[in-house]
Amino acid sequence: MTAVILATACAVVYGTADFFGGLATRRSRVLAVVALSQLAGFALILSLLPVLPGAFEGRAVLWGLGAGLSGAVGLVLFYRSLATGVMSVVAPTTAVTSAALPVGFGLLQGERPEPVALLGVALGLGAVLLVSQDRSAGGAGSTRAVLTALAAGAGFGGFFILLSMASADAGLWPLAGARIASIGLVILLALATRRTLKPVPGSLGVIVAAGVLDMVANVLYLLAQRQGLLSLVAVLVSLYPASTLLLARRVLGERLHAVQLAGVACALGAVALIAVA
């Protein structure tokens, strides 16, 4: 039950972080938003390292570095696929792939969830597909955009898998390693493309909020997967688009389509099934 609570809270915080990140990218450049939000999250994890238990382990930090690189590559590919494809195709493709890979990895590692929990997993994957639909976009996604979205989902899924490989005794050190790797990669990309990392005036607060919330979600994920099965935790975490949609409706007045409302209902059902397993 603890893992379910932590993973569900993680999904809510991830979705909130994405909401703030979306607001920030409307006001400032994408690379600036990514780099500065990552720095804000890194500052938070540095402040938590002395407080929360955990010993420095080189192997755990290496797993974190790998996770950070995988997640950063996934993020870059995700934005690239959005630039060349349609949101209604790209978003669900990326989200379901990022959830399916950890599920498959967990099962291959010998995890055997209860049948009712597996039903929750199936319902959760369906929920991700439904809540990610954007009927405001027309047309179909190109093959290249779909392939890029699949690669982006693999990057996000790799982030979850690689973090799960780090020892629990290492505390939050794997997240510190992950953030160092992702910040380094984004800065290299900015230098290679000659893009400025200076935010537009007035956007820094939103960027910092997105980065801090993203790191809080990462901490919750790390704690959740140490308490429960990766194959279940990853599905619950992947339900984050539901909270993003609800915030967009509440704050921005955006309308939810019937298929998205059905996805939110499926997400709640998935949480309930996994919780009672």
Rounded to whole angstroms, how far apart are CA atoms 64 and 162? 7
How far are the Cα atoms of 67, 70, 168, 186, 233 from residue 53, in angstroms, in the given order?
21, 26, 10, 29, 22
Domain boundaries, the chain: 2-276
For residues 70 and 130, the answer to whether their CB atoms sit within 8 Å is no
Calculate the average pLDDT of the chain.
Answer: 84
> 58-67, 80-89, 102-111, 154-163: which range is least confident on average?
80-89
The confidence score (pLDDT) of residue 84 equals 61
DSSP annotation string for 32-85: HHHHHHHHHHHHHHHHHTTTS-----HHHHHHHHHHHHHHHHHHHHHHHHHHHS
Q: Which residue has the higher pLDDT, 131 or 61?
A: 61
pLDDT tens digit string along 166-200? 988 999 999 999 999 999 998 898 888 888 888 88
Distance separating alpha carbons of residues 14 and 159, to the nearest angstrom: 14
With a cut of 60, say whether residue 131 has pLDDT above it.
Answer: yes
Which residue in the block uniquely carries the two structure tokens 């997967």? 225
Distance CA 184, CA 229 (A): 31
Read off the pLDDT of each residue in 75-85 and give the average, rounded to a whole number: 69
- In sign, the C-alpha dihedral spanning 183, 162, 86, 252 is negative
pLDDT in tens, 214-273: 999 999 999 999 998 888 898 888 888 778 778 877 887 767 678 878 887 887 788 778
Residue 24: predicted pLDDT: 83
Mean pLDDT of 8-16: 91
Question: Is residue 277 pLDDT above 70, yes or no?
Answer: no
Q: What is the largest CA-CA distance in the chain?
A: 52
| Residue 13 banded pLDDT, cuts 50, 70, 90 | very high
| Single-letter amino acid code for the residue at 82 | L
The pTM score is 0.84
Give me the pLDDT at residue 139, please: 46
Q: Give tens-digit pLDDT for 43-54.
A: 999 999 988 888
Among residues of the chain, what percentage have pLDDT more than 90?
Answer: 29
Report, as an integer, the average pLDDT of 143-166: 87
According to the model, what pLDDT value does residue 88 have?
55
Cα gap 93→85, rounded to integer Å: 11
Q: Is 8 helix (H, G, I), strand (E, B) or coil?
A: helix
Q: What is the pLDDT of residue 5?
A: 92
Position 137 pLDDT exceeds 90:
no
